[in-house]
Structure 1
Amino acid sequence: MLDTTRMFTLCEVAKHGSITAAAAALGYTTSAVSQQIAKLEKEAGQPLLERHARGIMLTDAGRSIVKHTERILIELEAADAELAEIQGLRAGELAIGTFPTAGSSLLPLVIKEFKTHHPGIDLRVLSGRFAQLVDSLRRRETELSLLWDYEWNRIDDPLLTYHHLMNDPTLLLVSEKHRLADRESIRITELRDESWVVRADDHPVAHTLERLCQQGGFTPRTSFLAHDYGEVQAMVGVELGVSIAPRLAVLNPRPDVRSIPLATRSPQRRILVAHLTERRLSPAAQAAITLCMAAARRLEEGFADT
């Protein structure tokens, strides 16, 4: 195996036309450069320089090594330039995981700002369920992921680091024609006799509803199992039942649906951005975390103004 440092030394000798001139350019002694060339010739198994009265010339083997060394130098310069682009957020890629309600509310704010300030970064987004998002982080398919948890089911994964972005309270959804539609808040006990539109497939909001109704001393009577919040709002709007939803899920409510705060303490989920603890974050990921925090603050300020 040829020593690359010695190959670079041979390039300098070829460039300057003599060992003495190459030594001066490199800041070495002439003897040190001669020793490096001798060792390189031993590695190559043949002479690399021919010495003449008027100086030195490269042998065929020497010219071959110089040619390949120049290619290596070009690649190294390209690598330096690419690293500078990545460090300066002018190149590279970033993969972010998200869940649907964050993907339709918080994340678009982040992406808009990110693409404005860092258009050279290739941004990819994976939307999925909680387990899929965590698995993608562990497999390094994504570098960051938006996640959520409730106080009775906190995320406790030692492999992940979390940044708390905001709290997302639970709201009651009723038809605009519902007897309580004009209320500013509603107690869960006032809904004992209602039918409920419930999220299907063992959805976390279904568990939240169970806990709420237990606090109110009753079991919810299900009228419809919905597979997304579009179905939830549609069924509530036609008075098939009432429902609950995280606030981020109903930022754009249907005109025939009212979202009303709970009078008692509302269950809140934390919205988080997570990454592998052991993974050194790219500059792009660090910038995205900052933008996530700023977007969450803007959302909460908007909620406070309404």
Structure 2
Amino acid sequence: MNSFLILQKVIELGSFTKAAEVLGYTQSSVSQIIASLEDQLSIKLLNRSRTGVTLTLEGQQLYPLIQQTIRQYQAVQEKATEIRGLETGVIRIGTISSITVHWLPNLIKKFKTNYPNVEFVLYQGDYNSIADWIRTNAVDFGFTTPAMAKDFKTIPIKTNEMLAVLPKNHPLAAYPGKPLSLDAIKDDPLILIEEGGFSEPLNAFAAAGVTPNIKYRIHDDYAIMTMVEAGLGVSILAKLVLQRMPFNIVTRPLDPVINRELAIACQNKQRLPIASQYFIQEILANKADLR
């Protein structure tokens, strides 16, 4: 195969000397390798002249087959690299707490049944930090909202409703399931989930012409639920994070509905490590099961 690759470079550059320089050989070594190939095939492949190197008539008939062989060899090499990447790969993901808790455990478990040696490194933060991690290649890709990933390639994953979160003894907690207006909770101390540079609840308050009484800004959903349970205020959190919650709190839908758009964001999907590309495929294949 090495002789085929050298022949290809000689034809591409039209010179033994130039091919030798590019490939790191001496000119005499390249000449000897081509002469040996011609001996093996019992065919003269190249015409040598002062103007350069060209294929003989016989060489012109053989060269398309040689190119095909090279392409097949390269495909084998690429596949081998891909397999090695899935054997020893590391997948670095920027994520938010609700996805870390509710989506990733099952997704990782399924993925590792096929690729048990792939490692996962999870960076948990807000929309701003995830965007920074993608930009600086600290992570391969991240879960975020498209509004905070305009500089990246995004793949929509899910639209998740957000709910009002109230203490158990709150007067409005007596009507679970009944939509609640933002105006009804505007005077309550609001414990805002701090997502970094973008807030679906704040956008909804602004659209409704309502000014919330923000008292706390916290990054962690579960810390917020603890504070709501203690009666320190109310909040608006994604329905996703409110599943299987061990807190003594009440949730109510909102009117108008507040949705959180979730997407995968990366700089260039085709340039991701092969293990990360495969894991994104796993996520998309299981998208309908994500709750």
Q: What is residue 253 of structure 1 aligned with on the other side?
A: 245
Aligned-pair distance for 1:211? 3.8
- Three-state SS of the structure 2 residue aligned to 1:94 is strand
Aligned-pair distance for 1:107? 2.4
Paired with 1:181 and 1:5, the residues of 2 have a C-alpha distance of 87
Please list every run of 5 or more consecutive structure 2 residues that lacks an aligned counterpart in the other structure: 1-23, 49-73
Paired with 2:194 and 2:239, the residues of 1 have a C-alpha distance of 18
Aligned-pair distance for 1:274? 1.6
Aligned-pair distance for 1:132? 3.2
Please list every run of 5 or more consecutive structure 1 residues that lacks an aligned counterpart in the other structure: 14-18, 36-75, 301-306
Q: What is residue 83 of structure 1 aligned with on the other side?
A: 81
Q: What is residue 137 of structure 2 aligned with on the other side?
A: 140
Q: Does 1:161 align with 2:153?
A: yes
Aligned-pair distance for 1:261? 1.3
Identity of aligned residues (%): 19
- Which structure is larger by alpha-carbon Rg, 1 or 2? 1
Q: Does 1:180 align with 2:177?
A: no
Which amino acid in 1 is paired with 2:237? Answer: A
Which amino acid in 2 is paired with 1:174? Answer: L
Change (3 A) 1:127 1:7: farther
Q: Is the 8 A contact 1:196 1:223 kept in 2?
A: yes
Change (3 A) 1:148 1:28: farther
Paired with 2:194 and 2:165, the residues of 1 have a C-alpha distance of 17
Where in structure 2 are the equivalents of 1:194-205 lying within 5 Å? 194-199=188-193, 204-205=198-199
Change (3 A) 1:285 1:3: farther
Q: What is residue 92 of structure 1 aligned with on the other side?
A: 89
Q: CA offsets per residue over residues 113-157 of structure 1, 9 Å max, x none?
A: 2222212333333333333323333333332221114xxx46422
Q: Does 1:113 align with 2:110?
A: yes
Paired with 2:142 and 2:100, the residues of 1 have a C-alpha distance of 11
Q: Is the 8 A contact 2:189 2:215 kept in 1?
A: yes
- Three-state SS of the structure 2 residue aligned to 1:164 is strand
Which amino acid in 1 is paired with 2:25? Answer: L
Paired with 1:4 and 1:97, the residues of 2 have a C-alpha distance of 51
Q: Is the 8 A contact 2:157 2:284 kept in 1?
A: yes
Paired with 1:4 and 1:144, the residues of 2 have a C-alpha distance of 46
Aligned-pair distance for 1:100? 2.8
Q: What is residue 25 of structure 2 aligned with on the other side?
A: 2
Aligned-pair distance for 1:175? 1.6
Change (3 A) 1:155 1:215: same
Change (3 A) 1:123 1:251: same
Tell me the matched-pair count: 239
